[in-house]
Amino acid sequence: MRQQSTRARLNAARAALLLVCGVIAGPLFVVVFLITGATRAGYDPLRHPVSSLALGDLGWTQVATFVVAGALTVAFAVGLRRALRPFGGSTWGPVLVGVWGAGLIGAGVFVTDPISGYPPGTPGRLTQYGSAYAALHDVFSLLAFVALVAACLVFARRFAGWGSPLWAAYSAVTGIVFTGAFVLAGMGFEQTEGLVDVAGLFQRISITAGWCWLSLLALRLLRGQEIGDRAGG
């Protein structure tokens, strides 16, 4: 009996640790790109993408941030699956969150090309990929963004079914904001007139909205709240 109790406590501790990974991944990613973006010479956070921070002598800091935040998110996806298992119908949401995390790792390992004039002296947009690494960076980035949008929509439907309308609405709105800002950012990085100088801002809105949703979801589950009406929606 005592052995079973000890095992249960260990399992609970492991589950909590996995959820903590989800709480800290987003703030870590956002804080790092805000600090490095504000201090990097020649870098304009309003204009340039977060991925460009991986270029240059200090680029390893952003590469490490991609990989660490991605790994933490994959761990959170495992904890998310375990936490939601009792409620049923919760497979695709955690899987998509895990794909978001894996995509971040890939985007960190494979560094992007220069864009929008960063690093200084480079063209606004290359006519073709400078390397296979840059092409793979875009593949992993797109995979990650699509996965997180899909996760928001999946959870919007699931929360509605679980009797949590506020979280259903929040998940849906996050998916919409995330998608809209991401599209505008992409148009700016493609040098669309009127959006070039604010493309980085739109990307940061997109990324921050997605990370906030994930962190708050992890925090909700870590605090042991119920999914449905008993938690107040």
Q: How far apart are CA 100 and CA 206, in angstroms?
A: 14
Does the bond joining 94 to the residue before it have cis omega, within 30 degrees of 0? no
Report which secondary-structure segment, H or E, holds 221. Answer: helix 199-222
CB atoms within 10 A of CB 203: 24
- Comparing 28-37, 158-167, 196-205, the range with the smallest average pLDDT is 158-167
* 123-135 tens-digit pLDDT: 998 888 989 999 9
Whether the predicted pLDDT of 230 surpasses 70? no
Residue 88 has pLDDT above 70, yes or no: no
> Which residues, 6 or more positions from 183, have their beta carbon under 8 angstroms from its beta carbon?
none
DSSP-derived 3-state class of residue 118: strand
Neighbours of 147 (CB within 10 A): 19
Which residues partner with 115 through β-bridges? 118
Rounded to whole angstroms, the Cα distance separating 66 from 88 reads: 31
The pLDDT, as a whole number, for residue 233 is 38
Task: Note the pLDDT tens digit of each residue in 53-80.
Answer: 999 989 999 999 999 999 999 999 999 9
pTM: 0.90
